[in-house]
Amino acid sequence: MRFLTPRGALGRCALAAAFALAAGLTTLSPLARPAAAADGLQQVTDFGSNPGNLAMYEYAPADLPADAPLVVAMHGCTQSASDYHSHSGWQEFADQWGFAVVYPQTSAANNNLSCFNWFDPAEDTRGRGEAASVVQMVEHAAARYGTDRDRVFVTGLSAGGGMTSNLLAAYPDVFAGGAVNSGLPAQCATSLAAASGCQYSDQRLTPEQWGDKVRGSYPGYTGPWPRVAIWQGTADRTVAPVNGTELRDQWTDVWGIGQTASGTRTLPGGTTETTYDDSTGRPAVALFSVSGMAHGLAVSPGSGADQCGSTGTYYLNHICSSYYTGKFWGLDAAPDDGGATLPAPAGLTVTGTTDTGASLSWSAVNGAASYAVHRDGTRVGSPTGTSFSDTGLSAGTAYRYTVAAIDSSGAEGARSGAVTATTTGAAAECYTATNYHHVTAGRAHHSGGYTYANGSNQSMGLYNVFVTHTLKETSPGYFVLADGGC
């Protein structure tokens, strides 16, 4: 469905209407009062001057230790803090890994459909409006819980994702990392009139131009930049998949690391993770492209270690994004290696590769009870010896590994230098073309005026020369949408 920004006097509710209608809502009736707090969620009313007129809710495990991390989680349009707390899965990882969660909540008083105003400079810039209110919430919670100020993170869905981008740009001195779920690049729109173009269209900016929008949000800042995870569904018709690519371009440029991937891996739910490493070999930006996912937050109900959340409106059953986001930020690990008791293993070497695996070896560390093997920043094994074989990998793909020694108390020591293992065989090939040319090349077919990918049969939209998609050939003759990255 297509929407045009109305001319003349524009209210903040216009873009919110576009978000809601594009997602399938049919009425613009006022929202009901938010549900009562549940599952330990508590409202805080005295967190500051609150220039953005937001409500603050928080959750913390009963045994939260000092110097624990803090996560700020921002809901999407028509949602509430309680709704996001119940569905997103952040509560269970707060309990498991030990951190507090703050849920900012907007209302119909700010925006007719309770969207955060990510397109309004009076609300989304440093020291102003809703953005300033969120930072006041961080300060209040950090003081109350004794938060590790180097491990404060922010994540959000849709309009909350757009506000997340702006918070990361405006407050890189506050947030160590962020996750933008079905959201927009930082400062993509600075007016209501420009907002719909960001949602639906390629803005045709260079990575440097995108990066300048971040650098201009806090001029003169010279500190470390946040590590950013980007989640985007390939079938999103509310926030076009190109936004995932634009976010990737923006934050890799800010980090100065370019747009060439350091590693790619396949995750559950048809998800492809593409990482971009900093100079130390640690992923600074990660793009998670979820094949076939529409507009929403990816969840995966179940009891598995990598599952979380519950389904609902805009909570879609594909993969537990909160789990992989938390792992990307390092919420499951010690804060850093500064107090590590064991040195980094020496001599990490790739001893062999196949099309689906890689083998490693390293020198022993005195006092090590076992070792932690990290692939692209995520722990994938804990062998007791000095070798490890990683399996289930994609052919023709580069993976970056580090190893750390673990002492008898379970404390992980310093990580080794990184090595790169490239599996044998041919990597999955990607093709970007119009729907018409995909069909003529034999990668797709058309029926009833619409185009469908061969093999996966995913809908690609109208059969014409105006709609462009990227298709990934995962096996001979089998193609999937890969607009968010390949």
Catalytic residues: 158
Q: Are 373 and 380 in contact (CB under 8 A)?
A: yes
Write the single-letter amino acid at 416: S
Q: Are 391 and 356 in contact (CB under 8 A)?
A: yes
Distance CA 452, CA 481 (A): 10
Write the single-letter amino acid at 438: H
Residue 166's SS3 state is: helix
Q: Are 164 and 183 in contact (CB under 8 A)?
A: yes
Q: Are 348 and 416 in contact (CB under 8 A)?
A: yes
Beta bridge partners of 471: 431, 481
Distance CA 436, CA 451 (A): 8
Nearest to 273 by CA among 424, 393, 421: 393
Beta bridge partners of 469: 433
Residue 164 Ramachandran class (φ > 0 left, ψ -120 to 50 alpha, else beta)? alpha
Place of tokens 């107090």: 339
CA dihedral 92, 290, 377, 224 (to 10 degrees): -90
Distance CA 247, CA 210 (A): 8
Task: Please work out, in degrees rounded to the nearest 5, the angle formed at the alpha carbon of residue 28 by the alpha carbons of 7 and 103.
Answer: 100
Write the single-letter amino acid at 53: N
Q: Which two tokens stand for residue 480?
A: 């999937």
Q: Are 110 and 12 in contact (CB under 8 A)?
A: yes
- Strand 55-59 with 429-434, pairing: unpaired
Residue 398's SS3 state is: strand
Q: Which two tokens stand for residue 137?
A: 């919430």
In whole angstroms, what separates CA 144 from the centre of its chain?
A: 27
Distance CA 475, CA 486 (A): 14
